[in-house]
Chains A and B, each alone.
Chain A
Amino acid sequence: DAGVIQSPRHEVTEMGQEVTLRCKPISGHNSLFWYRQTMMRGLELLIYFNNNVPIDDSGMPEDRFSAKMPNASFSTLKIQPSEPRDSAVYFCASSLAGSGRLDEQFFGPGTRLTVL
């Protein structure tokens, strides 16, 4: 079975450019999570969706960040304009949750973003 797929795996861009990260969750999963990992701040939850609806975006650092989930098999995280402090590894994870219980989250391999 294919796991969570993220693209690109690596992205290098210049400050001020728009960056779009992509995620394909595991087929059949109904929840999707975006995380950011840095040495300084560790692993941070940015936003999560349930049945394509954003449930909690309180972790989104500022208005430059936006996330969408137009259907059950695709999500994007966009940064516009990008800044050097956005450099991090961004992970997407998905899970199949039912009856209000938390189930295992499956993580993608991550996108390493470098903003120069």
Chain B
Amino acid sequence: GDSVTQMEGPVTLSEEAFLTINCTYTATGYPSLFWYVQYPGEGLQLLLKATKADDKGSNKGFEATYRKETTSFHLEKGSVQVSDSAVYFCALSGGGFQKLVFGTGTRLLVSP
């Protein structure tokens, strides 16, 4: 079945450091890909998405490119802030109509 694999956390960075969180997927067909973010005590929020190969999703300085050849959708940010500390989930649309498949989440901790 469809699945998403994310790098284990936590990822610990200093403010202004470069961020990469790896995400790879297995899916039949042509899924849409998503990054969601969960701040402490809150629900998940959509951060960015890409619906076809070579699309780049971007939002709030974060970017991810849909790479069909490597089945990857890695999340990057050039300069992280303390306020970016959260859990990040990679997800794909698969398994049928409207169903999202989530990765296990990667916790990011940014220190001043």
Contacts and interface: CB of A to CB of B under 8 A. Distances in A.
Given A102-B93, A104-B46, A109-B43, A42 B98 contact: no
A95 B98 contact: yes
B43 A107 contact: yes
A42 B45 contact: no
A13 B52 CA distance: 46
Interface in B4-62: 32, 41-46, 49
B52 to A, nearest CB: 12
Interface residues of B, number: 18
Contacts of A107: 43-45
Given A43-B105, A102-B32, A91 B98 contact: no
Contact of B42 (A97, A103, A106, A109): A109
Contacts of B44: 43, 91, 93, 105, 107
A45 B99 contact: yes
Q: Please report whether the interface of chain B is mostly helix, strand, loop or mixed according to DSSP.
A: loop
B112 interface: no
A56 interface: yes
Interface in A41-67: 42-43, 45, 48, 50, 55-56
Contacts of B105: 42-43
* Chain A contact patch, size range: 20 to 34
B45 A55 contact: no
Contacts of B102: 42-43
7 contacts: A42-B102, A48-B99, A50-B98, A55-B96, A97-B97, A100-B97, A105-B100
